[in-house]
A and B are shown apart, each in its own frame.
Chain A
Amino acid sequence: GIQVEQSPPDLILQEGANSTLRCNFSDSVNNLQWFHQNPWGQLINLFYIPSGTKQNGRLSATTVATERYSLLYISSSQTTDSGVYFCAWRDGQNFVFGPGTRLSVLP
């Protein structure tokens, strides 16, 4: 199956800082999405981003399908951004989630 690396695995930021999270894939993927799992376990859909760039407030995402990676940008981070960020994609009949990046934003 497709191998994915999410980097960094862990990230600690001071409130107000910017960050870039990355997913690298071993092959092209379909239906790429980014999710945020908050500290209470709720998974929140951030972006459906099979290609191109999208922005939503302080967050934006870019997928370069030909280069097999996707980036999630968080600007002016807030403590509520803490949690785990997953990229996910469709692999045949299955959906696969990457290992995640655990983000802690300190006040």
Chain B
Amino acid sequence: GAGVSQSPSNKVTEKGKDVELRCDPISGHTALYWYRQSLGQGLEFLIYFQGNSAPDKSGLPSDRFSAERTGGSVSTLTIQRTQQEDSAVYLCASSLRWGYSSYNEQFFGPGTRLTVL
């Protein structure tokens, strides 16, 4: 597609429920990134994918968070047993490649605003 898309744009859920957030990267981009931005805060890096592989999952806030990517394209961020502190905007980005070059230039989606009641 022309840009990174994310769905849903807004999600309201009850504490304890599971949620799935989806990211569609720019076509042809092999690297994909997830970030979280809490209200009034900066951006927190969560995880990245090279193709379908996530080499480092240490940025995920807890074991309730997981992410996968299939077919080198769409990625899903899943939060199990949501807590109120999970409320934030979840942003996805993609880049042509992963590496120390301009191919690493990241382009962001519009984000998913998650509210846990």
Contact = CB atoms under 8 A, between A and B. Distances in A.
Q: Do A and B bind each other?
A: yes
Given A31-B100, A94-B59, A45 B107 contact: yes
A98 B110 contact: no
Interface string A60-102: 0000000000000000000000000010101001111111100
Nearest to A84: B42
Given A90-B100, A93-B55, A41 B110 contact: yes
A48 interface: yes
Contacts of A100: 42
A43 interface: yes
Contact of A45 (B37, B100, B106, B113): B106
Given A30-B100, A31-B100, A48-B102, A97 B42 contact: yes
Contacts of B100: 30-31, 90
Interface residues of B, number: 25
Interface string B63-105: 0000000000000000000000000010101000000111011
Contacts of B33: 95
Interface footprint category on A: 20 to 34
Contacts of B43: 86, 88, 97
Contacts of A43: 91, 93, 108
Interface of A: 30-31, 33, 35, 41-45, 48, 86, 88, 90, 93-100
24 contacts: A30-B100, A31-B104, A33-B106, A41-B37, A41-B89, A41-B110, A42-B108, A43-B93, A45-B105, A45-B106, A48-B102, A48-B104, A48-B105, A86-B42, A86-B43, A88-B43, A88-B106, A90-B104, A93-B48, A93-B56, A94-B56, A95-B35, A97-B45, A98-B42
Interface of B: 33, 35, 37, 42-43, 45, 48, 55-56, 58-59, 89, 91, 93, 100-102, 104-108, 110-111, 113
